[in-house]
Amino acid sequence: MPENLKPEEVNSQTDPSVAKQYDNETSKVKQVEDFYKLVDENKISMLNAYRKGVGPVGRCMAVAKRSGPDILYLTNAHSKKMDDLQQNKEVQISFHDTKTEDWISITGVVTTLSNSDPRIEELYTRAIKAWFGDLGDGKHDGGPRDPRMTLIEIKSKYVVYYKTEVGTLGMITEVGAAALTGKVAKTGTLRELTEQDLEQARKMG
């Protein structure tokens, strides 16, 4: 249900309508598990890199694999994103589920940009060929050994995500009630995973 705000809270350093969204009760183990589940259920992401003289540049990318808290993609070596990533390794990845309104934002750094990484064979699927094509030279065939086929590996440094806890009707009811009463709508929970949390998650496997 919508939460009451106390007038004296408004003078605090953090606006309570924001601060109260954060989940400080759920264990980090559970928060990591839910983060993994949300990524696995939403394979299509926006990968945002930084282009010199332009700023953030995004593109829609299908996740090839989630490895713990880290994200792997397959891409074409001739893509413009490769130039961006070679110049600046820092990236931001986002997911949004329009059905549930769950969302994830990952800040990370590129640790691998390789067209010879053995994991390419493991991650490759026949559907990927559609995005490369077969140039008919016996080499650039859109297969896993195509020299254009490149692995991008991103190590997560910071994660923030929102997990919705009400259905569509609950969302409408909660927001409507809050608008009428002056309370703050609570439709889900906002969680943060720090670099330390993510490093611990890697150790846990």
22-72 pLDDT tens trace: 888 899 999 999 999 999 999 999 999 999 999 999 999 999 999 999 999
Residue 73 pLDDT more than 50? yes
Residue 199 lies in a domain: yes
Residue 148 pLDDT more than 70? yes
Residue 174 pLDDT more than 90? no
Residue 71 lies in a domain: yes
**Is 151 within 8 Å of 128 (Cβ atoms)?**
no
Q: How many residues does the chain have?
A: 205
Q: What are phi and psi of 105, to 5 degrees?
A: -130, 125
The enclosing H or E element of 114 equals strand 103-114
Beta bridge partners of 152: 73, 113
SS3 content of the chain, % helix, strand, coil (to 5): 30, 35, 35
User: CA–CA separation, 13 vs 7, rounded Å?
Assistant: 13
Percentage with pLDDT > 70 across the chain: 80
Residue 104 pLDDT more than 90? yes
- How many structural domains comprise the chain? 1
> Which range among 67-76, 132-141, 182-191 shows the weakest confidence by mean pLDDT?
182-191
Residue 1 lies in a domain: no
Residue 14 lies in a domain: yes
**Residue 170: its pLDDT value, please?**
47
- Pick from 89, 88, 68, 101: which is nearest to 193 by CA? 68
**Residue 62: its pLDDT value, please?**
96
- Pick from 197, 185, 112: which is nearest to 150 by CA? 112
- Pick from 39, 61, 36, 38: which is nearest to 48 by CA? 61
Residue 151 lies in a domain: yes
Three-state secondary structure call for residue 19: helix
Residue 19 lies in a domain: yes
**Is 128 within 8 Å of 74 (Cβ atoms)?**
yes
Residue 2 lies in a domain: no
Average pLDDT, the chain: 88
Q: Give the tens place of pLDDT for each residue, 149-167.
A: 999 999 999 999 999 876 5
Percentage with pLDDT > 90 across the chain: 72
Task: Tell me whether strands 55-62 and 103-114 are parallel, antiparallel or unpaired.
Answer: unpaired
Question: pTM here?
Answer: 0.84
Residue 172 pLDDT more than 60? no
- Pick from 106, 150, 101, 100: which is nearest to 124 by CA? 150
User: What residues make up the domain containing 32?
Assistant: 7-204
Q: For the CA atoms of the chain, what is the radius of gyration?
A: 21
**Residue 21: its pLDDT value, please?**
75
Q: What are phi and psi of 82, to 5 degrees?
A: -65, -40
Work out the pLDDT band at 17, boundaries 50, 70, 90. low
Q: Tell me, what CATH number does 114's domain have?
A: 2.30.110.10
**Residue 32: its pLDDT value, please?**
97
Residue 163 lies in a domain: yes
Mean pLDDT (whole number) for 121-130: 95
